[in-house]
Chain A
Amino acid sequence: MPGNLVNFIQVLRSHDVRVSPAETLDAMNVATTLGYGDRDRLRDGLGMALAKTPAEETVFNQCFDSYFTRGLADFSLEQDESDTEENPPATAEAPDDSELQPSASDAAALEAAAENNPELAAVMDSELMRALLANDRNALTIAMTQAGEGSGLQQIQMFTQKGQFTRKMLDAMGEQQLRGAIIELERAGDPALANLQRFRDLLREQVRDFVDREYLLHAEGRNQQFMEDVLSKTRLSNIEHSYLHRVHELIRKMARKLAARHARRRRQYRRGHLDMPRTMRRGVANDGLMFNTYWRQVKREKPQLLAICDVSGSVAAYAKFLLLFLYSLQDVLPKVRSFAFSSHLGEVSDLFAEHPVEKAIEMVNWKYGGATDYGSSLQDFADLALDDITSNTTVIILGDARNNNGDPRMDIMRAIYQRSRQVIWLNPESRRAWQTGDSEMFRYLSACHFSAECNNLKQLERVVDQLLKSTR
């Protein structure tokens, strides 16, 4: 069982439930303490040690059920026992697909046919067929599990591999002989053919089910991770519309991760350490008696973040994600103000506060989209917020700096640069393109503390991580 438990934990991990080695040990202890007798209790207990959020608990329960139920009940020839338990008796007794179910008479017919057919007789004598005929579920389950392990089923990656694995397992279990016999019977026109076919179909069906379950258990979680990995490295503008919702989910996840990593350092104790010099100084008045203690307090100004997003056609796809990201980050940095511009600039913080994020982004695009004019937008920004920029403010700008050959208004950029703590410019274009055409990026660079190419989620995450480190 311990080996089994370790395997099960592997499965949990592949489903995005993080389990540390220490928790594995805990789970072992839980299992030893509770024993394996009462399954529900074992499930509760293991769940407490392994699942740490209600969401993880749901995943855990699903995995537990599908992992530990693949016992004997999964494979049977007659009416499935677990079925009879779960279904109300009425349906179990109903004369359902008895056509498909091989029964004792099938076996008898086959026995009879085998007497004058050596090929069939050999098959009937094989281990697999004997087990099938005797409905020896134990042996069959073992054979199936062994075949699964032998063919490396646990390494299954994609659903396209299912057929291949099914075949491998059937071969390992000796289905080939069965097939041979069927062809033989077909040629001879033996009436027992249908009976044998029924056995074969059932076997195939069971193996297919087995592969399906293993796929769900081992590959699905991994595929999701793979998908996320790919998405986070794809250029945001290239992500297909149908994957957008997954990207949203991914962005939220990243924001949560960053929030967790950084939020813990934001707050400081209200009361710090004993301020010895001050305590002694005040004690002088009492003839050196230090009756009043003084405490060093840590004061911290909250950082302020101003985000300016170019939402003009060329950058809109990226701006959307940055806005979404900033919106999700409000947990960490409560003072986030967002501005959007193309030809004119306006504050959009309220839109984000009042509407759900998807709708807000849509409204921003609708209100401020159009042709880009960095000059007048910077002027608008200066009118709106320049006075609010202090040495605690971080200004983050997302844009391609393509100004249609207009006035870049470096003076305003410089003013922002001088007043703020830092100016970060994220450019979705690759660095090589920064000097080409109407791009003013190289001029703006002189008024930025930090600039980065940013067109996929990985880069965005790295930049924001950097940002949070410096605004703490």
Chain B
Amino acid sequence: MHTQDFPQLSSVETIQEGFESFGYICSDKIATAVFLAFQLRKPILVEGPPGVGKTELAKTTSQLLDTPLIRLQCYEGLDEAKALYEWKYGKQLLYTQVLKEKLGDLLQGAQGLAESVERLHQFGDIFYSEEFLEPRPLLKAMQQERGAILLIDEVDKSDYEFESLLLEILSDYQISIPEIGTVKARTSPMVFLTSNNTRDISDALKRRCLHLYIPFPSIELEERIVRSRVPDVEEHLRHQLVEFVHSLRQLDLKKSPAISETIDWARSLLLLHADQLEEEVVRSTLNVLLKFEDDIEAADGELNKLVRDAREG
């Protein structure tokens, strides 16, 4: 990917503006990360609590650049056959059968076993050529003519072995296929890796990436996000609800409400024609924000105070 092809990425400011036009409001830091990733051709390892827009960042970048988004969802046991490529065994076997009949023609005139084998050798490699290769997300991303956004989602869920597999791709944008050789990316893709920190990522992988930590946004930033996603919410209600969510995040909860939940909640309040936070409305919609019964109970006790603070704040 070259800068002249993508004027959207020519500076940190244009990235920020571009993202905003797709409804992704981001901090200076996030835009800087995307800018650097593009300029230096480095993957970004995006970490942060769930729901702060890690995956969304990759999606928006793909929208902004108008390039395909190729997503690889990681899980325990993910291996190269599912991530990189696989041989089309069925097709290979079928072809062998079809070619069985041709075998006679092929070996016609061959004297003795040695010569037959010699002749067979000349055709031996065709079964392991790109014809029989089934590309999986990582290889597919390498094959894109105009480059691609490669999203390796929740890389912390995969095994350590899989991480080592990624190392070659992330540093040189190439893949070694033993039977064929090295496949180099036509255009190096932009790579986003996301992690929820369920386990430590290996140092080798971290070294190859820019490291971006996205925390929960500040009140101002979150208000801007809500405004861009749910434009119909009145300004003072928006302020109150964001304020409320922020004080919820201060509580000791199993799962703090994420940005996406703030947006959902804003939509719910809009549907209920609320024009400011009332304890009753909040209580009945609390399950939009909090996903555990324990959390709801914990928040319920403080509700009076939280609502009052949010209305004053």
Q: How far is the CA of A332 from the CA of B28 in the complex (A)?
A: 39
A300 at the B interface (CB under 8 A) = no
A33 (CB) vs chain B CBs: closest residue: B39
Do the beta carbons of B89 and A49 come within 8 Å of each other?
no
Do the beta carbons of A264 and B79 come within 8 Å of each other?
no
Q: How far is the CA of A45 from the CA of B29 in the complex (A)?
A: 8
Identify which of residues 151-166 in chain B touch chain A, using a CB-to-CB cut-off of 8 Å: 159-161, 163
B81 at the A interface (CB under 8 A) = yes
B213 (CB) vs chain A CBs: closest residue: A54
B114 at the A interface (CB under 8 A) = no
Do the beta carbons of A52 and B202 come within 8 Å of each other?
no
Q: How far is the CA of A26 from the CA of B41 in the complex (A)?
A: 11
Which residue from A22, A45, A57, A267 sits with its C-beta under 8 Å from B159?
A267
Question: How near does chain A come to B221, taking the closest CB pair, in angstroms?
Answer: 15
B1 at the A interface (CB under 8 A) = no
B33 (CB) vs chain A CBs: closest residue: A48
A243 at the B interface (CB under 8 A) = no
Q: How far is the CA of A115 from the CA of B291 in the complex (A)?
A: 82
A224 at the B interface (CB under 8 A) = no
Do the beta carbons of B89 and A293 come within 8 Å of each other?
yes
Given A20-B207, A48-B211; A271-B160 close (CB under 8 Å) = no
Question: How near does chain B come to A278, taking the closest CB pair, in angstroms?
Answer: 14
Identify which of residues 41-60 in chain A touch chain B, using a CB-to-CB cut-off of 8 Å: 41, 44-45, 47-49, 51-54, 57
Do the beta carbons of A291 and B160 come within 8 Å of each other?
no
Question: How near does chain A come to B28, taking the closest CB pair, in angstroms?
Answer: 7
Do the beta carbons of A26 and B42 come within 8 Å of each other?
yes
B12 at the A interface (CB under 8 A) = yes
Which residue from B12, B97, B163, B212 sits with its C-beta under 8 Å from A48?
B212
Identify which of residues 1-50 in chain A touch chain B, using a CB-to-CB cut-off of 8 Å: 18, 20, 22-23, 26, 29-30, 33-34, 40-41, 44-45, 47-49
Do the beta carbons of A30 and B36 come within 8 Å of each other?
yes
Which residue from A33, A49, A256, A260 sits with its C-beta under 8 Å from B202?
A260
B7 at the A interface (CB under 8 A) = no
Identify which of residues 47-79 in chain B touch chain A, using a CB-to-CB cut-off of 8 Å: 47, 76-77, 79
B93 at the A interface (CB under 8 A) = yes
Identify which of residues 72-92 in chain B touch chain A, using a CB-to-CB cut-off of 8 Å: 76-77, 79, 81, 89-90
Question: How near does chain B come to A290, taking the closest CB pair, in angstroms?
Answer: 5
Identify which of residues 379-437 in chain A touch chain B, using a CB-to-CB cut-off of 8 Å: none
A270 (CB) vs chain B CBs: closest residue: B77
Kindly supply a per-residue 1/0 record for chain B positions 190-211, scoring 1 wherever the CB is within 8 Å of any chain A CB and 0 otherwise: 0000000001101100110011
A202 at the B interface (CB under 8 A) = no
Q: How far is the CA of A49 from the CA of B32 in the complex (A)?
A: 12
Q: How far is the CA of A364 from the CA of B212 in the complex (A)?
A: 43
A265 at the B interface (CB under 8 A) = yes
B32 (CB) vs chain A CBs: closest residue: A44
Which residue from B12, B81, B89, B207 sits with its C-beta under 8 Å from A23?
B207
Do the beta carbons of A265 and B160 come within 8 Å of each other?
yes
A366 at the B interface (CB under 8 A) = no
> What B residues does A264 contact at CB under 8 A?
159-161, 163, 202
> What A residues does B33 contact at CB under 8 A?
44, 48
Do the beta carbons of B159 and A41 come within 8 Å of each other?
no
Do the beta carbons of A263 and B160 come within 8 Å of each other?
yes
Q: How far is the CA of A51 from the CA of B212 in the complex (A)?
A: 9
Do the beta carbons of B79 and A269 come within 8 Å of each other?
yes
Question: How near does chain A come to B168, taking the closest CB pair, in angstroms?
Answer: 15
A289 at the B interface (CB under 8 A) = yes
B126 at the A interface (CB under 8 A) = no
Do the beta carbons of A44 and B40 come within 8 Å of each other?
no
Q: How far is the CA of A401 from the CA of B213 in the complex (A)?
A: 51
> What A residues does B81 contact at CB under 8 A?
271
Q: How far is the CA of A47 from the CA of B89 in the complex (A)?
A: 47
Do the beta carbons of B206 and A45 come within 8 Å of each other?
no
> What A residues does B40 contact at CB under 8 A?
26, 29-30, 33
Q: How far is the CA of A375 from the CA of B163 in the complex (A)?
A: 49
Q: How far is the CA of A397 from the CA of B309 in the complex (A)?
A: 57
Identify which of residues 262-286 in chain A touch chain B, using a CB-to-CB cut-off of 8 Å: 263-265, 267, 269-271, 274
> What B residues does A52 contact at CB under 8 A?
203, 206-207, 211
B27 (CB) vs chain A CBs: closest residue: A44
Do the beta carbons of A40 and B36 come within 8 Å of each other?
no
Q: How far is the CA of A269 from the CA of B47 in the complex (A)?
A: 25
Question: How near does chain B come to A273, taking the closest CB pair, in angstroms?
Answer: 10
Q: How far is the CA of A29 from the CA of B39 in the complex (A)?
A: 9
> What A residues does B199 contact at CB under 8 A?
263
Do the beta carbons of B206 and A33 come within 8 Å of each other?
no
Given A57-B213, A270-B79, A289-B93; A41-B32 close (CB under 8 Å) = yes
> What A residues does B79 contact at CB under 8 A?
269-271
Do the beta carbons of B211 and A267 come within 8 Å of each other?
no
Do the beta carbons of A44 and B93 come within 8 Å of each other?
no
A50 (CB) vs chain B CBs: closest residue: B211
> What B residues does A265 contact at CB under 8 A?
160
> What A residues does B36 contact at CB under 8 A?
30, 33-34, 45, 48-49
Q: How far is the CA of A47 from the CA of B200 in the complex (A)?
A: 19
Given A33-B39, A41-B12; A289-B210 close (CB under 8 Å) = no
Question: How near does chain A come to B197, taking the closest CB pair, in angstroms?
Answer: 9
Which residue from B35, B207, B211 sits with its C-beta under 8 Å from A51?
B211
Do the beta carbons of A291 and B42 come within 8 Å of each other?
no
> What A residues does B32 contact at CB under 8 A?
34, 41, 44-45, 48
Question: How near does chain A come to B236, taking the closest CB pair, in angstroms?
Answer: 29
A273 (CB) vs chain B CBs: closest residue: B81
> What are 5 A-B residue pairs whose CB atoms fall within 8 Å in the complex?
A44-B33, A48-B32, A52-B207, A53-B211, A57-B213
Using a CB–CB cutoff of 8 Å, the interface residues on chain A facing chain B are 18, 20, 22-23, 26, 29-30, 33-34, 40-41, 44-45, 47-49, 51-54, 57, 256, 260, 263-265, 267, 269-271, 274, 289-291, 293
Further 4 A-B residue pairs, CB within 8 A, beyond A264-B159, A269-B79: A26-B210, A34-B32, A34-B36, A48-B32
